[in-house]
Structure 1
Amino acid sequence: MLIYSYSVFIFMYFVGLMVLCLKCNHLLLMLLSLEFIILSLFLGLGVYIVGLSYESYFMMIFLSLSVCEGALGLSILVSLVRMYGNDYFNSFNVLW
């Protein structure tokens, strides 16, 4: 059961990385794939901590930091959409 959980974690992580690499022109899809990677890391951390029967306080700290990261990413997305009108990377003048 533990090996199956690790394989699911690794599969989720690499699918998130693949989507992040393939959809690099849309900021919203990049943020969603980053949240998916964070979710897979949380799953892997949970499997690791439960497997070794450690305390799960670090999981709560990791979860709170990932929520802060998601809120920061959404605030950046909202400010860019208000400023430029869309969330495509190739239309930003700041990056060129």
Structure 2
Amino acid sequence: MVFILITTFFIALMGLAFHRTHLLSALLCLEAMMLTIFIGMAMWPNNLTPSMLMAPLIMLTLSACEAAMGLSLMIATARSHGNDNLKALHLLRC
């Protein structure tokens, strides 16, 4: 099971590294990485102390916030530039 989780994480990482044209594909790869980490943390509760049992839930909450911020950034660039290319994000700098 550990091998599958590590493989899934690195496939998502390679997808993030190689598919850098559209923001939506980058967000999907980031979400796959976060979901893999969440599954890994939730599968081994014996390794966690009682104070760390909420860590997977907190990480999942932060992942949802990251997805919401990424989607709002994608909507802002799509409205202003008409596409979701990552090169358009360089134009948002002040």
TM-score, with structure 1 as normaliser: 0.83
Alignment of 1:42 with 2:38, yes or no, is yes
Distance 1:8 1:93, change over 3 A: closer
Alignment of 1:86 with 2:83, yes or no, is yes
Q: Which runs of 4+ in 1 moved over 4 A?
A: none
Aligned twin of 1:24: 20
Give structure 2 stretches of 5+ with no counterpart.
none
Aligned twin of 1:52: 47
RMSD after superposition: 1.8
Choose which of 9, 17, 22 in structure 2 pairs with 1:13: 9
Corresponding residue pairs, total:
90
Q: Distance in 1 between matches of 2:89 and 2:69?
A: 19
Q: Distance in 1 between matches of 2:64 and 2:90?
A: 29
Aligned twin of 2:63: 66
Distance 1:93 1:41, change over 3 A: closer
Question: Percent identity of the aligned residues?
Answer: 33
Give 1:45's aligned amino acid.
M
Partners of 2:78 and 2:84 within 8 A in 1:
yes
Partners of 2:5 and 2:36 within 8 A in 1:
yes
Give 1:58's aligned amino acid.
A
Alignment of 1:75 with 2:69, yes or no, is no
SS in 2 for 1:39: helix
Q: Deviations over 1:1-58 (max 9, x none)?
A: xxxx21111011000011111101111100000000000111111223x242544211
Q: Distance in 2 between matches of 1:85 and 1:59?
A: 37
